[in-house]
Structure 1
Amino acid sequence: MKQLEQSLTEGSIYKSLISFSIPFIIANILQALYGTADLLIVGLFTDTAGLSSVAIGTQVMQIVNGLIIGLTMAGTILVGQYYGAKRNNDVSETIGSLLSSGAIVSLFITVLMFILTKPLLNILKTPPEAYADTVKYVMICSSGVIFIFGYNAISSILRGLGDSKRPVYFIAIACVTNIVLDLILVGVFDMRAAGAALATILSQGISMVLAIIYLAKRNFIFEFKLGNFKIKKDKMSMLLKVGAPLSLQEVLLWASFLVIAGIANSMGLAESAAVGVVAKFEVFSMLPPMSISYALAALTAQNIGANKPERAMKALKISILISFICSLFFFVWAQAHPQSIMGIFKADADVVNAGGKYLKTFSIDFILVAIKFNLNGYLNGSGRTNFTMINGIVSSIAVRIPVAFLMTIVLQKGLIGLGLTGPVASITSILVSIVYIKMNSSKEVNLI
C-alpha cells in the first residue's frame, strides 16, 4: 500500500514535519469544528442554559475521548516502530489487536457512562437550568463510543504508517455531516443539546463506515476480514504497555479540567458557560502544537525503530520552534481582544465579561503548550509513556487542582485566579520533562 505509506526516517526533517503536520492540522481543525458546531448552533438557537449544557457535556465526554486517544496513540507508536523496522506482519497483527480490543473496551465504556453520568453531573454542580439537557447530551454521546473509537483508531493507524492525508478526508465527512445534522436537529426540530449529541454520533458513525469501505477497496496493509480481527497476546501486551499510561494520563488530565469546570459551575451560570466556551476556543489555539507533536511522535517512533535517535532529537527542537511561532498568534489575540473570542459563540454580555477575565490569565498556557506537547510527543514516540503518565498525573492532579482551590477558595481570585491553573501546571510539566530527557538522553527506548 505504498500510496498510503510514507517513511519519516529519511530526508529533510523540516519537510517531513511540515508535510505530515499540515494534513494533521487540517484534520484537527475539522475535528474541532464538528465539536464546536454543537456549541455554536445550540448557542444560536437556544439560550445560556443550552450553551452551558453542551459545554459541560463536552467536557465530560473529553474523559472518554482521552481514554480512547491513549489506546489509539499506542497504535500509532507501535505501528510506526514496526513499519520503521520493515516488519509488516507485526504491523497487521497490531492493527487487528487494536481494532478488536477497542470494540470490547468501547462497549464497556458505554455501559459505565450510562451508570455514572448523573452522579458525575451532580458532583460537578451542574447548574439546575442546564441539568436535564446535559444528561441527555452525555447519554446520547456515550451510546456512540464505538464510533468515536473506530474512526480515531483508523486515523491513528494511518498516521503510524506515515499517512496523515487520508484521515483528513474521513474527518471532513464527519464535520460536514455533523453541521448539517446540527442545523436540522437543533435548528429545525428544536432538540436542543440532545439534537447536537445525536448529530455528533451519527456523523462519527458514517465517517467510520466510509473509512473502512475506502481502505478495504485499496491495497491496505491490513485486510478487513473477520479472521484478521484477532487479539494477539504479545501485541495486546504491547498496546497496553504503551496505551494504558497514555489513557490514564489523558483521563486524569481531563478529570482535572472537570474539577476546574465544577468550580466554575459553582460560581454561576455565566461563569460555567464562559469556561466552557473558552475550552472550545482553547482547542483551536492548541491545534498547531498538538498536530505537530503528533507528527513528531510518529516521526520519533519510525526513527527509533530504524535506530536513528539523533534524528528524532533534532526533530524535537524543530517542532518546538514551529509550534511556538504558531501559538504566539493565539496568545496575542486572547490578550488584546478577549471579547471578540467570546463573541464568536454568540454569548450574552455576562458570559462575554466572565470569559474575558478567564482568558487574560488562562491564555498564557497557549504558548506554554507549544513546548509541553512536543516534549510529550517525543517521549511518547520513543516509548517513554510511563514517564509522560507520571508527569501528567503530577501536573494535572498534584499541581492544577490544588492551585485551583488555592486561587478560588483561599485567595478568592475568581476566574482570573482559576485561569492561572493551566499555565502553572504546564510550567511544572515542562521543567520535569527537560530534566528527564537530559538525564536519559543516552538511553533511547525501542519497544520492538
Structure 2
Amino acid sequence: MQIEKKSTVKDMTSGNIGKQLILFMIPLLVGNIFQQLYNTIDSIVVGNYVGKDALAAVTSTSPISIMLVGFFMGMSTGAGVIVSQYFGARDEKSLRKSVHTAIMLTIILGFAFMLIGYLITPIMLKLMDTPDSVMADANTYLRTYFLGILGLMLYNMASGILRAVGDSKTPLYILIFSSILNIILDLFFVIVLNLGVAGVAYATIISQFLSAVIVIGMLLLSKDIYSLRLKELRIDMPILKKIVKVGLPAGLQTAIVSFSNVFVQSYINHFGAEAAAAWGVYSRIDAFVILPMQSMGLSITTFVGQNAGAGQKKRIRDGIRIAMIMAIIITTVICIPLVYFAPKIVVLFNKEAQVIAFAALFIRVNELFDIVACTNQIQAGALRGVGNAIVPSIVMIFSFVFFRQIYLKIVSMLTSSIIPIAWGYPAGWICCSIVLFIYFRFNKIA
C-alpha cells in the first residue's frame, strides 16, 4: 500500500509516541469540544431566552438520545478499529471493503434509529419520571432530534474512518463550520422566530446534516486509499462480522449504560424541575471535562490498532503508559479551577438561584472524581485497539449499570439528601477503574 506524500493519513507505527499521541489528540479534542457545543449552545440559549423548564427539557433528555446514538458510536468504534488494523497491516483491499461496509451499515441503522427513537420518546420520558412542566417540550425536542439523526450518524462514521487512518484534522474543520452554523441557527430560531425548544432541535439537525454532506462528499472526491465509491457501496459479510465483533459490545455497553442513566435522571427528577435543570447543566459541563480523556482514549485506540496490525507489542505498552499520564495531568488541571469557580460557570446557563445552587453542588461533589475515570478510559481504549471490546464492555456495564443502580437504590432508602444521589456517577467510575486495573495487572494485552 502506497501512501501519497500529501496524504492526510498518519502512520503511527514508528516515531516519538508522546508527540504522535498529542498531535493526533489535539485536533480530535478540539473537534469533540465543537461537537459538545451543539448541545451546550442549545442549553445556554433555551436556559436564558426560554426558561428553566425548557432548559430541563433539552438537558435532562440526554440519556435517551445517547442510548441510541451511543449504540451506533460503539459500532462506529468497531469500524474504526478494523480500518486502523488494515491500514497498519497495509491491506488495501480489505481496508476499502471495511470503509464501504461501514458507510452502508450507517445508512441502514440511521433509518432504523430514526423510527425507533421517534416511537420510544414518550415511553422513555415517562419512565424517567419527567416533571409535568417539562414533558411537552422534552417530547418535542427529542422527536425532532431523532428525525434528523441520520446526518449525525453519517458524519460520525465518516469522521471515524478518517481518524482510523490518522486524519483527525479534516473532521475538525468540518465540525468547526457546523458548530458555528448551529450557534447562528439557534439564535435565529429561538430569538427571532420564537420557536423554543423545537428551534434548537431544528438548528442541530440542519447543522449535522450539512456536516455529513461535506464529509461524505470529501470521501467521494478523495483519491486516497480510503476513498468512497458508490459502486463499491455494499455490505461485505466477513468485514461486517469483524466490525460487529468489536463494535457490538461497545455499542451495547453505551446503550445499556445510557438506559441505566435514565434511572439516574429519575432519582434527580424527584427533587423537581430546578434539580433536573441543574443536573443537566452539570452534565453539559462535565461532558467538556471528560473530553481530554475521551480524546486520548480514542487516540490510543487508533495507536494500538495500527501497532497491533504491525506487531509492535512494546510500542503498544509504552503508548498506553504515556497516554495514561497525559490524560491524568490534563484532567487535573481542568478540574481544580472548575470546582472553585462553579457558580460563575453555571450562571451562563441559567440565572435562577435554585438552579445555580443545585448545579454548583453537583459540580463540586463530582468533578474531582473525573481524574479516576482517566484510567478506565485509556485502558478500555487500548483493549478495543487490539480487538478486545468484550472485557471493557462487560466491566463498564457491571460498574455503570448494576453497581451504580444498587448504590443509588441503597442510598435513596437511607437518606433524603441529594448529595449521595449525585455521587452515583463517581461510584461507578471508581468501581470500573478498580476492576480494569486488576484485569491489566494479571493480563498482558501486548
Q: Settle same-fold status: TM greater than 0.5.
A: yes
Aligned to 1:428: 431
Query: Aligned ranges for residues 45-84 of structure 1 at < 5 Å?
Result: 45-84=49-88
Query: Secondary structure of 1:4's match?
Result: coil
- Deviations 1:169-193 (CA, angstroms, capped at 9, x unpaired): 1211220111111011111111111
Match of 1:315 among 313, 319, 330: 319
- Deviations 1:275-321 (CA, angstroms, capped at 9, x unpaired): 00000001110111111110011000000110012211111111111
Aligned to 1:246: 250
Aligned to 1:437: 440
Aligned to 1:149: 153
Aligned to 1:89: 93
Query: Secondary structure of 2:333's match?
Result: helix
Aligned to 1:220: 224
CA apart distance, 1:329: 2.4
The 10-residue stretch of structure 1 (286-295 or 346-355) with the greater mean CA deviation from structure 2? 346-355
Paired residue type of 2:80 = T
Q: Distance in 2 between matches of 1:119 and 1:130?
A: 15
- Deviations 1:88-118 (CA, angstroms, capped at 9, x unpaired): 1111100111111111111111111122110
- Deviations 1:363-390 (CA, angstroms, capped at 9, x unpaired): 1332112212111111111111010110
Query: Secondary structure of 2:194's match?
Result: coil
Q: Distance in 1 between matches of 2:381 and 2:295?
A: 10
Gaps of 5+ in 2: none
Q: Distance in 2 between matches of 1:12 and 1:347?
A: 48
Q: Distance in 2 between matches of 1:347 and 1:121?
A: 26
Relative to the length of structure 1, the TM-score reads: 0.96
Query: Secondary structure of 1:312's match?
Result: helix
Match of 1:340 among 341, 344, 354: 344
- Deviations 1:238-262 (CA, angstroms, capped at 9, x unpaired): 1111110010111122222221111
- Deviations 1:54-111 (CA, angstroms, capped at 9, x unpaired): 0123332111221121011111111111100000111110011111111111111111
Q: Does structure 1 conserve the Cα–Cα contact (< 8 Å) formed by 2:300 and 2:319? A: yes
Q: Distance in 1 between matches of 2:289 and 2:441?
A: 29
Q: Does structure 2 conserve the Cα–Cα contact (< 8 Å) formed by 1:25 and 1:291? A: yes
Q: Distance in 2 between matches of 1:296 and 1:347?
A: 40
Q: Distance in 2 between matches of 1:355 and 1:5?
A: 42
Relative to the length of structure 2, the TM-score reads: 0.96
Aligned to 1:37: 41
Q: Distance in 1 between matches of 2:188 and 2:12?
A: 43
Q: Does structure 1 conserve the Cα–Cα contact (< 8 Å) formed by 2:159 and 2:215? A: no
Query: Secondary structure of 1:267's match?
Result: coil
Matched, 1:205 2:205: no
Paired residue type of 2:417 = K
Q: Distance in 2 between matches of 1:292 and 1:222?
A: 23
Q: Are the structure 2 counterparts of residues 257 and 281 from structure 1 closer, same or farther at C-alpha, using a change threshold of 3 Å?
A: same
Count of aligned residue pairs for this structure pair: 442
Q: Distance in 1 between matches of 2:358 and 2:75?
A: 36
CA apart distance, 1:221: 2.2
Query: Secondary structure of 1:370's match?
Result: helix
Q: Distance in 1 between matches of 2:61 and 2:260?
A: 15
Paired residue type of 1:177 = L
CA apart distance, 1:223: 4.0
Matched, 1:403 2:407: yes
Q: Are the structure 2 counterparts of residues 439 and 295 from structure 1 closer, same or farther at C-alpha, using a change threshold of 3 Å?
A: same
Query: Aligned ranges for residues 311-390 of structure 1 at < 5 Å?
Result: 311-390=315-394
Q: Distance in 2 between matches of 1:158 and 1:212?
A: 11
Matched, 1:180 2:184: yes
Q: Does structure 2 conserve the Cα–Cα contact (< 8 Å) formed by 1:358 and 1:418? A: no
Percent of aligned pairs with the same amino acid: 26
Q: Does structure 2 conserve the Cα–Cα contact (< 8 Å) formed by 1:28 and 1:291? A: yes
Q: Does structure 2 conserve the Cα–Cα contact (< 8 Å) formed by 1:330 and 1:366? A: no
Aligned to 2:123: 119
Q: Does structure 1 conserve the Cα–Cα contact (< 8 Å) formed by 2:336 and 2:368? A: no
Q: Distance in 2 between matches of 1:47 and 1:22?
A: 35
The 10-residue stretch of structure 1 (11-20 or 167-176) with the greater mean CA deviation from structure 2? 167-176
Match of 2:417 among 406, 413, 419: 413
Gaps of 5+ in 1: none
Paired residue type of 1:114 = Y
The 10-residue stretch of structure 1 (288-297 or 397-406) with the greater mean CA deviation from structure 2? 397-406
Q: Distance in 2 between matches of 1:163 and 1:123?
A: 41
